[in-house]
Amino acid sequence: MATTPADGWVIAVPAAQGIAGQKSPMDSLILMFEADASGDTVTIAAGTNPPAHQAGKGADTIVLAASDIRIYKPEVARHVKSDGTIVATCTDAGTRCYAFILPRSTGRGGA
């Protein structure tokens, strides 16, 4: 765990979230960044190739206005490190990062 957001948040999906024979849970990952009254810039680091075959696109940045909230869907092929994590950093210690895994359809239909 980072001591400050500037050290970086390391986002990892618990192994128990994976389901054999299905896509990586990282494919369903959504990040939410919440800035304090001063705003911030968040950087999502480029991944490692392999497994991130689009790591060459480089890092991505998100500019947050004062008290702003942004939702970000990281590209797995761009941002995942060789250890299966995604790293985000920011310049202001008042920014918060939340990670969510969206539920996936079972493909069985329903009402």
Express each pLDDT in 37-48 by its tens digit: 999 999 999 999
Element (H, E) at 100: strand 96-101
CB 101 within 8 A of CB 74: no
Q: What is the domain partition of the chain in residue ranges? A: 5-13+24-101
Q: Is the pTM for the entire model greater than 0.85?
A: no
**Rg from Cα positions in the chain:** 15
Instruction: Count CB neighbours of 9 within 10 A.
Output: 22
Record the tokens describing residue 9, joined without a space: 């948040």
Give the Å distances, CA to CA, from 62 to 4, 17, 19, 43, 68. Answer: 18, 27, 31, 6, 11
pLDDT tens track for 4-24: 566 789 988 765 444 444 456
| Gap between the Cα atoms of 81 and 77, Å rounded | 10
Match 């310049």 to its residue by tokens: 91
Q: For 82-94, what is the mean pLDDT?
A: 90
- Is the pLDDT at 78 greater than 50, yes or no? yes
Beta carbons of 40 and 103 less than 8 angstroms apart: no
Are the beta carbons of 44 and 79 closer than 8 angstroms?
Answer: yes
